[in-house]
Amino acid sequence: MAATGLLLGLILALGCFSEICVAIISFSSLQTTLVVTVSHPRRLLRAGEDKITVRWGLNQSLPAGTDSAYKTIKVQLCYAPISQVDRAWRKTEEHFSKDKTCQFKIVKMPYTTGNQTLEWTIERDVPTATYFVRTYALDANDHEVAYGQNTDAKKTTNLFEIQAISGRHVSLDIASVCFSVFSIVSLMGFFFVEKRTGRKAQQ
């Protein structure tokens, strides 16, 4: 009976230890094995309208079998350092559980050998900022094991800017102008009528 209890305790302890290990997976522990490039029509892109083309694949200079544990690819849009300054909600952290660098999923799909290409329309809710793209390789447990990005280690090259949607529409602007003109004309008409009425009262 005591042995059974000891065995259950050991299993629970190992389980907890395993969860802790998963929780403290750090970015620096990942291998940089993927090559990622991004092309776009201009440096300043518009959310909800423009597209970017993302290409990724295993670095061909690496030994065969490097990607044997890769099961899934996750491509994300990430904030560049210049757009993280004084913004704690975008802060880069070493541990994945706390990291807020890459908040926008471009795609998550099964890993396949060879280069892959994806054209992605920038989503409407992407805020104004400077970005880069990072691709993660995940293992069978859905844990990040390798990555690649279209910028250098300091995240200063090949960046691009996205302009958020202003929330205004052309038709609304036209309606606003028309209403303003109507208001001015109505106000002038009111003063004219009042002035004329006043003159008649004096007569």
pLDDT digits (tens, 9 = 90+) for 42-86: 889 999 999 999 999 999 999 999 999 999 999 999 999 999 999
Please check the confidence at residue 113 and state whether its pLDDT lies above 60: yes
Render pLDDT for 70-82 as a digit per residue (tens, 0 to 9). Answer: 999 999 999 999 9
Domain ranges of the chain: 25-163
- d(C-alpha 197, C-alpha 32), whole Å: 83
* Mean pLDDT over the full length of the chain: 83
pLDDT at residue number 71: 98
- At 14, the pLDDT band (50, 70, 90 cuts) reads very low
Please check the confidence at residue 6 and state whether its pLDDT lies above 60: no
**DSSP secondary structure string, 91-136?**
---SBTTT--SEEEEEEEEE--SS-EEEEEEPPTTPPSEEEEEEEE
pLDDT at residue number 25: 78
Global confidence as pTM: 0.72
Which of 97-101, 148-152, 165-169 is predicted least confidently?
165-169
CATH for 25-163, among 3.40.50.620, 2.60.40.1930, 3.40.50.261, 1.20.1440.230? 2.60.40.1930
Nearest to 95 by CA among 18, 21, 17, 27: 27
**DSSP code for 95:** B
